[in-house]
Amino acid sequence: MRYKYNISNLDCANCAKRIEDFLNKDKNLKNVTVNFSNLKVTVETDYKGDVLKYINKSVKKIEPNAVIYSTEVKKENVTNDIIRLIIGVLIGVVGILINIEYLSTIFIIISYIILLYKTFLRAIKILVNDKTINENFLITISCIGAYFIDKQREGLMVIGLYEIGKILEATALNNSRRSISNLMNIKPNFANVKENDIIKRIDPENVKIGDIIVVKDGEKVPLDGIIVSGSAKVNTSALTGESILKDFKINDTILSGMINEEGLLEIKVTTDYENSTVNKILELVENATDNKAKTETFVSKAARIYTPLVFLLAILVLLYGVIFTHDSFIFWFYKSLVFLVISCPCAIAISVPLSYFAGIGKSSKEGILIKGSNYLDNLKNIKRIIFDKTGTLTTGKFENIKIDIKDKKYSKEKIEEITVKGEALSNHPIAKSLIGLINIKVDNKDVKNFEEHKGKGISFEIDKDKIKIGNYKFCNSDNDNAYIYISINDKVVADLSVTDKIKDDAITTLNELKHKNIICEMFTGDNKSNAISVGNTLGIDKISFELLPQDKYDLLNNYIKNEIVAFVGDGINDAPTLALAHIGISMGGIGQESAIEASDVVIMTDELSKINTSINISKYVSKIIKQNLTFAITTKVLVLIFSIFGIASMWQAVFADVGVTLLTILNTMRILKKRF
């Protein structure tokens, strides 16, 4: 089974990675992810006992202060640390200013104990339990070392500034997580259930399919359903990213997460909370950062090597100075202590996953669901995008229909009746569009042996007649001038010509993609004339027509070996092709389970322009990550070099540690403010 928990008292991304690696070595656990960005732990296990207790016991071995909870974790409270910091600093200042030597020593030692004890205890626990040298150990050694070489003031300064930095870092991280969470603050808190004209407010998870719920002005729609009474202006921005209010009326489908801005609605619930749109979206966003990008994985691994490497360099610096120079042991010991203060990799380890987390949250706010950091990262590398036609580049909703009767035994009305009877059993967008366009009601109980042939059409029987509706090859037509053919007993009796409108934003979207030097191609099962007409209007670079799903799969398979390719479809058909592409993008995925399941990126509206938005977000996230890594690494390396030449002291070393971490976190938050 798969379990999801919350984790508290997690100091840094490097600590999260250590816990994740340790738990993954446990034979009773598998696919463990510890997400520092949103403080979540996900684990799969067949363990029969108390899973939470078992995981907590294991975590204590590697990170003694961390605690796993099944309930939501409140943000980290730094009040006690602030009080401890103030008391410790005040006592330290008194110790520095007092002129009586033994009293000064006592006050400074007390200040050291107050400020350093928490870091010291962490260092010892991790050293004993995990046999690992981490930043707490290095800071402890630096401060104690400074005390014994008569640098007590600098030692106090190091631990004081380190504690200040940790408090600011925790505050910034809490604010960052809250900002990202607010972007996806779409979870309904209650549902007004109507029973015998009495309204009861209950938890959405307890509402049953078929219940009637009432949604008043300003309330969120708690569950998916169909409006049975009332009308309202509804804000759909939480799901689609669109701020314009939409009108909803009786018989309209409405989705959880939307907000009733004006009106009163009674809704018949069609899905339970677990399968509701809002819950699926929250699960996708929550799980997205479990699929880590290559950059994130590399940084996590590098961070584990970085700290012991710097510790080794500090020892080498000390040995070099003592053996090959005439300077004193204390002089070089001080330099090595500066090395240790710089050693914490937090700025690098925190900023990368936090950037991806912010990018995924921002994408969700724009109406784009991205299933993982790896997909967000890869969007910027796309070299070719292949589009399905119907329902993707076109609306999939036919505007006009012309029926050409080939066999005079059948009237127009009879052809319409046969068409609607068969297409009513299909889930294809074309079928739904045809039914809407013909707009007649029929009873299809006499339809037998219905079968859907992917990329071809449908077949069924009425009485003794064997009927096919589909493309010209499927119906054995002599020409391909029409869009759809109807064959009865292997004879074409009629064909249908329809007009499928190109989406309003298709041309501008493709032009922008070409401006990014992305090749745009179209795969369609439609006939040559329709495909070329649409392709030429849009300026498609290459058009492939009359393709079956297997043909699309085989053609795409040839591309993915040489370049990063995305496939864009409607999420209902071509599931294998969507899965095969480096990035599968589903259009109009709102409320469609098939779209969410089949693809890596779900555009929750029918707007093709969101593809460019997702690429732009990917590029911006990458830019922020590069800025953070460049700034953090450059600063640390410069301070290391300057310390060797006596230019940098522990003041600069502390800035290179906690100061840089804080600045990279603040820089990462620009992702949430950026307009795309």
In this structure, how many other beta carbons lie within 10 angstroms of the beta carbon of residue 237? 18
Give the residue-averaged pLDDT of 96-118: 89
pLDDT in the model for residue 179 = 60
Distance CA 543, CA 531 (A): 7
**Which residue type is seen at 263?**
G
Distance CA 491, CA 501 (A): 30
Pairing of strands 565-569, 583-586: parallel
b/e string for 153-191 if b means 16 or more Cβ within 10 A? ebbbbbbbbbbbbbbbbbbbbbebbeebeebbebbbeeb
Distance CA 526, CA 310 (A): 62
Tokens of 60: 């204590």
Q: In this model, does residue 595 exceed pLDDT 60? A: no
**104: which residues sit within 8 A by CB, 6+ positions away?**
95, 96, 98
How far is residue 577 from each of residues 87, 426, 557, measured CA to CA in Å?
63, 20, 9
Give the containing element (helix H, strand E) for 399.
strand 394-405
Which residue among 11, 388, 480, 657 is the active-site one?
388
pLDDT in the model for residue 13 = 66
pLDDT in the model for residue 596 = 64
- Let me know: does 124 contact 64? Beta carbons within 8 Å: no
Place of tokens 């804000």: 235
| pLDDT class of 591 with cuts at 50, 70, 90 | very low
pLDDT in the model for residue 468 = 95
667 closest CA partner among 629, 628, 632, 633: 628
Distance CA 449, CA 461 (A): 6
H-state helical runs in 25-67? 51-62
In this structure, how many other beta carbons lie within 10 angstroms of the beta carbon of residue 441? 7
- Catalytic residue check, 388: yes
For the chain, give the mean pLDDT.
Answer: 84
197: left (phi over 0), alpha (psi -120 to 50) or beta: left
pLDDT in the model for residue 72 = 59
Strand partners, 225: 254, 269
| Class of the CATH domain delimited by 395-500 | alpha beta
pLDDT in the model for residue 177 = 64
More confident call, 238 vs 521: 521
How far is residue 557 from each of residues 320, 460, 554, 668, measured CA to CA in Å?
57, 33, 5, 37
Q: Which segment of 20-29, 207-216, 573-582 scores lowest on mean pLDDT?
A: 573-582
User: How confident is the model over 367-390, as pLDDT tens digits?
Assistant: 888 888 889 999 999 999 999 988
Q: In this model, does residue 462 exceed pLDDT 80? A: yes
User: How confident is the model over 654-667, as pLDDT tens digits?
Assistant: 788 778 888 888 89
End-to-end CA distance of the chain: 39
User: How confident is the model over 407-441, as pLDDT tens digits?
Assistant: 989 999 999 999 999 999 987 777 887 888 888 88
pLDDT in the model for residue 184 = 57
Distance CA 176, CA 657 (A): 19
pLDDT in the model for residue 589 = 61
Place of tokens 């969470």: 181
Q: In this model, does residue 241 exceed pLDDT 70? A: no
Distance CA 263, CA 78 (A): 44
- Let me know: does 527 contact 471? Beta carbons within 8 Å: yes
Q: Which segment of 61-75, 236-250, 564-578 scores lowest on mean pLDDT?
A: 61-75
287 closest CA partner among 373, 354, 379, 362: 373
User: How confident is the model over 279-327, as pLDDT tens digits?
Assistant: 877 776 666 555 666 776 676 667 667 777 877 888 888 888 888 888 8
pTM value?
0.73
User: How confident is the model over 351-372, as pLDDT tens digits?
Assistant: 788 888 888 888 888 888 888 8
pLDDT in the model for residue 290 = 59
Options 2.60.40.1930, 3.40.120.10, 3.90.180.10, 2.70.150.10; which CATH number does 191-285 get?
2.70.150.10
**639: which residues sit within 8 A by CB, 6+ positions away?**
338, 342, 648, 652, 653, 655, 656
pLDDT in the model for residue 347 = 67
User: How confident is the model over 118-160, as pLDDT tens digits?
Assistant: 888 888 877 776 666 767 787 888 888 888 888 888 888 888 8
Distance CA 34, CA 27 (A): 17
Q: In this model, does residue 391 exceed pLDDT 60? A: yes
Strand partners, 369: 602
Pairing of strands 384-388, 40-45: unpaired
pLDDT in the model for residue 182 = 61
User: How confident is the model over 478-504, as pLDDT tens digits?
Assistant: 887 787 899 999 999 999 887 778 998
Domain residue extents for the chain: 2-69, 191-285, 395-500
pLDDT in the model for residue 654 = 78
| pLDDT class of 630 with cuts at 50, 70, 90 | very high
- Let me know: does 227 contact 251? Beta carbons within 8 Å: yes
* 2-69 under CATH 3.30.70.100, yes or no: yes
Dihedral pair phi/psi, residue 534, rounded to 5° = -65, -45
Burial class (CB in 10 A: 0-12, 13-18, 19+), 506: buried
b/e string for 455-484 if b means 16 or more Cβ within 10 A? bbbbbbebeeeebbbbbbebbebeebebbb
Q: In this model, does residue 31 exceed pLDDT 80? A: yes
